[in-house]
Amino acid sequence: MLELSFLKTNKERAIQGLKIRNFSDEALQVIDRILEADETRRNAQVELDNNLAESKRFASEIGALLKLGKAAEVEAIKSKVASLKEQAKDLESVMKVASEQVEELLLTVPNIPHHSVPPGKTPDDNEVFKPWEKPMPTLHSGALPHWELAKKYNIFDLDLGVKLTGAGFPVFRGKGARLERALINFFLDEASRAGYEEIAPPLMVNKDSARATGQLPDKEGQMYYVERDDLYLIPTAEVPVTNIYRDSIVDEKDFPIKMTAYTQCFRREAGSYGAHVRGLNRVHQFDKVEIVQIAHPDSSYLQLDGMLTHVSSLLDKLELPYRILRLCGGDMGFTSALTFDFEVWSAAQERWLEVSSVSNFETYQSNRLKVRFKDGNKTRLAHTLNGSALALARIVAALLENNQTPEGIRLPKVLHSYTGWEMID
RNA sequence: GGUGAGAUGGGUGAGUGGCUGAAACCAACAGUUUGCUAAACUGUCGUACUGGGAAACUGGUACCCCGGGUUCGAAUCCCGGUCUCACCGCCA
CATH number of the domain encompassing residue A275: 3.30.930.10
Determine contact, residues A132/A323, Cβ cutoff 8 Å. Answer: yes
| Number of domains chain A contains | 2
Whether the CB of A165 is less than 7 Å away from nucleic strand B comes out as no
**Rounded distance between C-alpha atoms, residue A23 and residue A109, angstroms:** 10
Determine contact, residues A174/A158, Cβ cutoff 8 Å. Answer: no
The residues of A between 60 and 99 with beta carbon within 7 Å of nucleic strand B are 60, 62-63, 66, 78, 81-82, 85
Q: State the pLDDT at residue A126.
A: 94
ipTM, two decimals: 0.86
pLDDT of residue A227 exceeding 90, the answer is: no
Average pLDDT over residues A410-416: 95
Task: Tell me how long chain A is.
Answer: 425
Q: Are A239 and A290 in the same domain?
A: yes
Examine residue A112 and state whether it is found in any structural domain, yes or no: no
Q: State the pLDDT at residue A25.
A: 93
pLDDT of residue A278 exceeding 80, the answer is: no
pLDDT of residue A240 exceeding 70, the answer is: yes
Protein-contacted positions of strand B (CB under 7 Å):
18-19, 47-51, 56-57, 59-62, 72-73
* A248 CA from B9 C1′ (Å): 14
| Across all strands, nucleotide nearest A52 (CA–C1') | B61
Q: Are A314 and A233 in the same domain?
A: yes
Which of A10-19, A62-71, A217-226 is predicted with the least confidence, judged by mean pLDDT?
A62-71
Structural domain containing residue A54: 4-107
Examine residue A256 and state whether it is found in any structural domain, yes or no: yes
* A94 CA from B22 C1′ (Å): 31
pTM over 0.80: yes
Compute the CA torsion angle A361, A363, A369, A372 (nearest 10 deg).
130
Q: Are A237 and A292 in the same domain?
A: yes
State the Cα angle at A22 between A272 and A106, rounded to 5°.
85
Q: Are A318 and A355 in the same domain?
A: yes
Examine residue A113 and state whether it is found in any structural domain, yes or no: no
pLDDT of residue A56 exceeding 80, the answer is: yes
Question: Per-residue confidence at A80, pLDDT binned at 50, 70, 90?
Answer: confident
* A99 CA from B60 C1′ (Å): 19
Question: Per-residue confidence at A43, pLDDT binned at 50, 70, 90?
Answer: very high
Q: Are A138 and A250 in the same domain?
A: yes
**Rounded distance between C-alpha atoms, residue A172 and residue A161, angstroms:** 9
What is the rounded average pLDDT for all residues in chain A? 90
The residues of A between 364 and 393 with beta carbon within 7 Å of nucleic strand B are 372, 374, 377, 379
| Across all strands, nucleotide nearest A85 (CA–C1') | B72
| Residue A12 belongs to domain with CATH number | 1.10.287
| Across all strands, nucleotide nearest A372 (CA–C1') | B47
Higher pLDDT, A185 or A227: A185
Examine residue A118 and state whether it is found in any structural domain, yes or no: no
Average pLDDT over residues A129-156: 88
Nearest residue, CA→C1' of B62? A49
Query: Which of residues A81, A107, A133 is at a domain's end?
Result: A107
| Across all strands, nucleotide nearest A82 (CA–C1') | B72
pLDDT of residue A265 exceeding 90, the answer is: yes
Q: Are A139 and A167 in the same domain?
A: yes
Q: Are A303 and A330 in the same domain?
A: yes
* Residue of A198, A404, A227 lying closest to A290 (CA atoms): A198
Distance of CA A233 to the CA centre of its chain: 15
Question: Per-residue confidence at A376, pLDDT binned at 50, 70, 90?
Answer: confident
